[in-house]
Structure 1
Amino acid sequence: MKRLCATLLTLVWGLSALAGGKSGTIVYINGAKYYIHTVRTGETLYGLSKTYGVGEQVIVENNPSIARGLKADENIRIPFVAEAPELKSDRKLRKTFDFHYVAKGETLYAISRQYEIPVKTLLDDNPNLDPLHMRLGERILIRKKQIGSEDEAGTQQQWEEYRQSLNSVADAGTSYHIVRPGETFYSLSRRFGITEEELSRLNKGLQPADLKAGAMIVVPGGRETQPEVAAADSLPGVHPESRETKQVEFRSLRRSETLDIAVLLPLAVNGQPNDNYLDFYQGFLLGLDSVKRTSGISVNVNLYNTARDTARIREIVADEAFRQSDLVVGPVYEEGLGEVVRFAEERGIPVVSPLANIERTNSDVLFQLAPDPARKYEKVEDLVGDGKRVTLICTATTDKEFEREILALLGDRSYTRYTYKYEHPSSRGANSPSDLTPLLENDAENVFVILSDNEVDVDRILAALASADTSITSRGRTAPRFTVLGNARWNRYNNLDRAIFFKDRVVFISTYHAKRDSERVKAFDSAYLRSFGILPTLFSYRGYDTAMIFAPAMYGDIEYDLEDRRFTPLQTTYLFSRPEGRANHVNHNWTRVNYHKDFTITIE
């Protein structure tokens, strides 16, 4: 289950066009299965009919808007025609899969998180699974080799992209919504301007007691009466009447007092342990040990397994030992955080979110170590500044989120797009789109941004840039000047040649970085190995940082001592401030990682 990276999956899961030109995006709508096809220039109803094996009239009936003709870039839905499945015995299936049986109210999102397995894998392996209407007791195949391969952020992204696919072809007057923690039938009906009974009917009789965070439901399209983040009754620390957050006065402990810390982690969910959070806790303990040795303070720690269950978190908050806490670390996820924050506001104690980016909860007691997404690219603005020649390299599929981030970074600055298409070396001719030499034959400072979401294409483009660089310099020409602004998701790719990062001068923006050859990190690694018998992970480093920053701060004025001060316990720096319009104290320091041609790495 241990891992530091996860499989990247975006809206086009796999290639955008499979054999025969069929779309790779498949969804269920009202119990029926459809391809989501993006119309390309020059495509005809006749051609689509032949590609997908359905009649032209059937396509029109499912997409009334195309009766007057197809429009390029329009999404349409085409009924899925299944081939006869290959039947396998349970004995054969068990060699590859575990079996999961759907419990009452369980969502595909929850199953994905339980096994840390990509949503796409679940859908691929269970072709008859309707994610929005799973049946009680329905058997779902869980691919053993993929268990533990996906993190929460990846699952959230894939689930959101499935929602977007549905909305791109939704029936008029309806759309799809992912239920957020704290949302109820009442708040949703009020927000979308319908009665609770109407909301139930839209969702095939769904009852209020069965509404779960992470579920995808049908809501009226275009009738939302409140913005997504304005549901004040679900935001701890926000009062509906005033919209003002509560100012908290934190008490400073005396050196003679013992610091009581509560640590809330999902160490096991449904009996399945998660080593990542054990790693975090072990790193946290080493950090506390270091604090105690250097400052002489006394610390008492209570560890709680939240099981990623809001009901369990409520039980923890009611526990007498928990209620004596001076500092709370966790829970990891935003669901269930409200109970903890409300308690912390009453007691005037800080709550540390060690890993998640908190989007909805707004409170003066909340401190976030994950860097603010709004400030992600501040440290690379120089790469796209005056005099830089920026080229966006595109392929058949695009990482849409990365593209949006890059376009926001560029603003009104000029750039060009280049479409890369792989051709085998034996078939390449003049002006081959696989040969990137023309992009480097200039005297400018070039910045390349690879927008592809396909691991093979990314690897080929990076190799093509390195090859073009070598070709130009070997002919005695002036060495090209270029940098590649990398996508942090590349670190999830298992087969990407990391050595190419140095050849292409790749620059990454990262939430965390630790070079194992640094003296401070090596010392920590040795201490961790002696204590626990294994090497630390990035979760271990984050746990250590959390203890080193917040345990000493409890003996001073935590709110003002941490504000706008830099902390670098190991190698990653934290700088806390309040985002505009928020009461939370959020780390806004991202790490810039620079790979150099001499095979060295520097961080900023």
Structure 2
Amino acid sequence: MIKFLTALCFTLIFNINALTAQNFSTHQVKNGETIQGIATRYGVTISDIYSLNPDAKKELKANTILIIPISKAKKPTVISTKELQGFKEHRTSKKETLYSIAKRYEITEDDIKTHNTFLYANTLQKGDKLQIPVFKIIKEEPKATTQPYIVKAKEGKWRIAYQFGITVEELNALNPGIGEILQEGQQVYVPNMVSDDVKEVDEKYSYYNVLPKEGFYRLKLKLGLEQATLEALNPELKDTGLKEGMVLKIPYSNKMIDTGGIVTKRTPLETKITNFDTKHIAIMLPFRLNRVDFDSISEIKTSIKKDPYLDASLDFYSGVLTALDSLKSLGISLKVDVYDTKYQISEVIKIIKNNNFEDVDAVIGPLTPETFDKVATELHAYNIPVVSPIGTNLKLYDNVFQSRPSDDLLKDRMVNFVKADSLVKNIVIVSDTKNDSVANKIKTSFSYAKSVYSRKNKQDKDENFVYVEDIRSALKPGRNIVFLETQSEGFVSNVTSILASLNQRTEGNPNAIEIILVTTNFNSAFEGDQVSNDHLSKLQFHFATASKSYNDTENNSFVKRYTKIYNTTPSKRAVKGFDLTMDVVLRLATAQDLYMSVNNAPLTEYVENKFAYKKKLLGGYYNDATYIVKYSDLTIIEVK
């Protein structure tokens, strides 16, 4: 029943989209056409066309696709064209006139004059020999200017837009309510084109979405491609020029697409500073100072303890301030604006409306997804990069930098790490019901893996424990990798205790059972009081993480400076504030802008975090840099 209702909902959505799509049509501009002529033909105003096609105000170029609001329009008029086939000779009689001759042969007086030029200077006389043109009349019937298109599997908006020579925004205009993600089998409307004119997406090439205000010069700096190269790959550019949102074919480049590659060489930006112009950055955090009671120090402390957003913001901001101090010592001039977003979208709108962001080089924050999304969309028109400190499932607009690696990326890195271990003899996956899908996904990478599940009660619910024999029977002599996938602290305690008792790691004994514990989702369950760190160390517990822990014994200048200023060691949030601010500003100081820095600095690393930004095929940037760490002698160290 649920599947039926889901299918019914999809059907209704697609039908609604199909109906609303018919409120718009398209027109391909021909040589010599004017905006007035097109508006007259469709019975709309010039402003109607300009409202949907702002680029047409600058210049109306041949082959440009225009969106026409046919809800306001009349049926396009039939256009008749005349094709000259030859001539008839006619000798003028006494009472004939140009009008009567034109009517007799169903042509116009101008047609007669055009082919008998002496009539421009002389009147028609009896006995004049005239060349009467014979035309073939060709009527151009108005054809449907859009056609339905069925979305194929894994097909996104950019692919369809590229194939039919329009921008993603124009595709959205043709299909109001289309949604962000297209579904296989969904019907959308596209320009009605001859099949030979529909372009194919060639996987041997990369594709680039033109950002606001980008011209050929900026693309040369960004992509390293001359205008002639871009025009050769995209011939329509010669007619239409560059337009915001259009999709360009470019030579294959792993800088422009999601490759999943791992960069290993760090770029020391501190030694590469070349741009000493003042850098203007904005910091947006949910301090919510309007909720703080400032009457006394004790009340301020109470307010901080009660408000997790204020606590997190102050922690992060303390790291930012320490970074700004370090950057100034490097000779970098900074202008910094700090805004309290109050964890409210309305406040974000007010901040952007009341302040000038056009000369801001980068924005760090906000912390929360809704406010971050609003800032990113509002500043997209100015092409201002917005960097997220903690978000992982963001909408990657062209100007978004997601600094925290996604959970999926961490999972993949852990699986690939195990795949690369040539000494592995056996794989075991231990999981509970909540993590069935995770266990199944791991199984697709290791088809030979053995599965062990949590014991269940009579109600078929997890008891969050297994017996020793459940695990012992799945192990083999030699090296065993055990995936533990759960969010239950009790289950972690039970399984790690059993595994530690079964681990027989001894040098030079191939028949001994060696156990290495791993997980694709490190969470608080592994850090609970019930879990023995001694067991985790004995099992060399491995996991992928976005950041490693700094070592107290290392001579770390940031930790020293922070401890001296705040009389406490920095938290992970403070370290993230420091690392992220250092990275953003140093990238600005070593490249033309943050976008260009992605190519100039493939990998950067600071106290606990590293950054290797990759660009989505059509979208923003995500951090591809992760760590693999393990428990060793009751400490967590990086696995090199």
Q: Give yes or no for the alignment of 1:459 onto 2:388.
A: no
Q: Which runs of 5+ in 2 are unaligned?
A: 19-150, 159-166, 173-208, 223-272, 292-306, 458-465
Out of 507, 512, 515, the residue aligned to residue 482 of structure 1 is: 515
The equivalent of 1:264 in structure 2 is 284
String of CA shifts for 1:414-455, please: whole Å, max 9, x gaps.
2111245499xxxxxxxx933467358633321111234321
Deviations 1:162-212 (A, max 9, x none): xxxxxxxx59636999xxxxxxxxx999678499xxxxxxxxxxxxxxxxx
Letter in 2 for 1:596: S
Residue 391 (1) aligns with residue 428 (2)? yes
Amino acid at match of 1:360: K
Match of 2:354 among 300, 319, 322: 319
Counterpart residue type for residue 349 of structure 1: I
Whether 1:569 and 2:498 are equivalent positions in the alignment is no
Separation of aligned partners in 2, 1:544 and 1:600: 21
Aligned to 1:18: none
How far apart in 1 are the matches of 2:613 and 2:447? 30
Asked whether 1:539 is paired with 2:570, we answer: no
Are 1:371 and 2:391 matched, yes or no? no
AA matched with 2:283: V
Contact 1:440 1:446 survives alignment (8 Å): no
Closer, same or farther: CA 452–412 of 1 in aligned 2, 3 Å: closer
Whole-angstrom CA distance in 2 between matches of 1:267 and 1:176: 45
Tell me the distance in 1 between the aligned counterparts of 2:381 and 2:413: 36
CA contact (8 A) 2:281 2:364 kept: yes
Helix, strand or coil for the counterpart of 1:583? coil
Residue 176 to residue 276, structure 1, CA distance change in 2 (3 Å): farther
Asked if 1:515 corresponds to 2:515, the answer is no
Instruction: Report SS of the residue matched to 1:519.
Output: coil
Q: Distance in 2 between matches of 1:353 and 1:372?
A: 12
Letter in 1 for 2:628: R
1:241 aligns with 2:170: yes
AA at the equivalent of 1:571: E
Deviation at 1:347, TM superposition (A): 3.0
Question: Secondary structure at 1:488's aligned position in 2?
Answer: coil
Matching residue's letter, 1:513: K
User: How far apart, CA to CA, are the structure 2 residues paired with 1:176 and 1:455?
Assistant: 41
1:391 Cα deviation from its structure 2 partner: 0.8
Change (3 A) 1:192 1:368: farther
Q: Is the 8 A contact 1:258 1:299 kept in 2?
A: yes
Q: Report sequence identity in percent.
A: 19
- Within the candidate set 306, 309, 328, 1:292 is matched to 328
Separation in 1 of the partners of 2:605 and 2:282?
Answer: 23
- Between stretches 504-513 and 374-383, larger displacement belongs to 374-383
8 A contact 1:316–1:322 mirrored in 2: no
Amino acid at match of 2:518: L
| 8 Å Cα contact 2:318/2:577 also seen in 1 | yes
Cα deviation for residue 551 of structure 1 reads 0.6
Task: Extract unaligned runs of 5+ from structure 1.
Answer: 1-64, 66-169, 178-186, 196-224, 233-237, 424-431
Shift of 1:481: 2.0
CA contact (8 A) 2:286 2:310 kept: yes
Residue from 390, 408, 418 that aligns with 2:452: 418
Mark the CA change 1:541 to 1:439 in structure 2 (over 3 Å): closer, same or farther: farther
User: What secondary structure, in the 3-state scheme, does the structure 1 residue paired with 2:638 have?
Assistant: strand
Q: Which amino acid aligns with 1:540?
A: A
- 1:469-492 per-position Cα deviation (integer Å, ceiling 9, x unaligned): 26x879x99542221112311346
The one-letter amino acid paired with 2:611 is Y
Contact 1:440 1:468 in 2 (8 A): no
Alpha carbons 1:436, 1:468 under 8 Å: kept: no
| Cα separation, partners in 2 of 1:473 and 1:347, compared to 1, 3 Å | closer
Which residue identity is paired with 2:623?
N
Q: CA deviation at 1:328?
A: 0.9
Report how many aligned residue pairs link the two structures: 378
Q: Does structure 2 conserve the Cα–Cα contact (< 8 Å) formed by 1:483 and 1:505? A: yes
Q: After the TM superposition, which residues 11-50 of structure 1 pair with which residues of structure 2 at under 5 Å, given as runs?
A: none
Query: Structure 1 residues 392, 254: CA separation in 2 closer, same or farther (over 3 Å shift)?
Result: closer
Structure 2 vs 1, CA of residues 417 and 254 (structure 1 numbering), >3 Å: closer, same or farther?
closer
The answer to whether the 8 A contact 1:459-1:497 is kept is: yes
Measure, in 1, the Cα distance between the counterparts of 2:353 and 2:8: 36
Q: Distance in 2 between matches of 1:441 and 1:348?
A: 55
Question: Which residue of the partner structure matches residue 622 of structure 2?
Answer: 586
Determine the C-alpha separation between the residues in 1 that align with 2:344 and 2:480.
Answer: 49
1:102-156 CA deviation, whole Å, 9 max, x = no partner? xxxxxxxxxxxxxxxxxxxxxxxxxxxxxxxxxxxxxxxxxxxxxxxxxxxxxxx
Q: 1:504 deviation in Å?
A: 1.0
Equivalent-residue separation in structure 2 for 1:311 and 1:190 (angstroms): 30
Aligned to 1:483, what secondary structure does the other structure show?
A: strand
Q: Is the 8 A contact 2:319 2:576 kept in 1?
A: yes
**Alpha-carbon deviation of 1:599?**
5.8
Partner SS, residue 466 of structure 1:
helix
Alignment partners' CA distance in 2, 1:527 and 1:268? 27
Compute the displacement of 1:227 (Å).
Answer: 11
Provide the TM-score with structure 2 as the length reference.
Answer: 0.51
Q: Is the 8 A contact 2:428 2:480 kept in 1?
A: yes
Query: Superposition RMSD on alpha carbons, in Å?
Result: 4.2
1:74 aligned residue: none
TM-score scaled by length of structure 1:
0.54
Contact kept, 8 Å, 1:509 with 1:590, in 2: the verdict is yes
- The code of the aligned residue for 2:317 comes to Y
In structure 2, how many angstroms separate the alpha carbons of the residues matched to 1:383 and 1:416?
15
- Displacement of 1:311 in angstroms is 1.2
Task: Write out per-residue CA displacement over residues 469-525 of structure 1, whole angstroms, 9 at most, x where no aligned residue.
Answer: 26x879x995422211123113463532223211111101112212333525x4322
The whole-number CA distance in structure 2 between the counterparts of 1:458 and 1:372 is 23
Offset of residue 293 of structure 1: 0.7
List per-residue Cα deviations over 1:544-593 (Å, max 9, x = no partner). 111111112223233233236110111332211113x3331211112111
Change (3 A) 1:495 1:582: farther
Distance 1:339 1:231 in 2: 22
Equivalent residues of 1:384, 1:390 under 8 A apart: no
* 1:260-302 superposed Cα distances (whole Å, 9 cap, x missing partner): 21111122398335311211111111112112112x1221221
Task: Kindly indicate whether the alpha-carbon contact (under 8 Å) linking 1:276 and 1:539 is maintained by their aligned counterparts in 2.
Answer: yes
Greater mean deviation of Cα atoms: 488-497 or 246-255: 246-255
Matched, 1:307 2:373: no
* Structure 1 residue 465 displacement after superposition: 0.7
Moved over 6 A (4+): 174-177, 225-232, 250-254
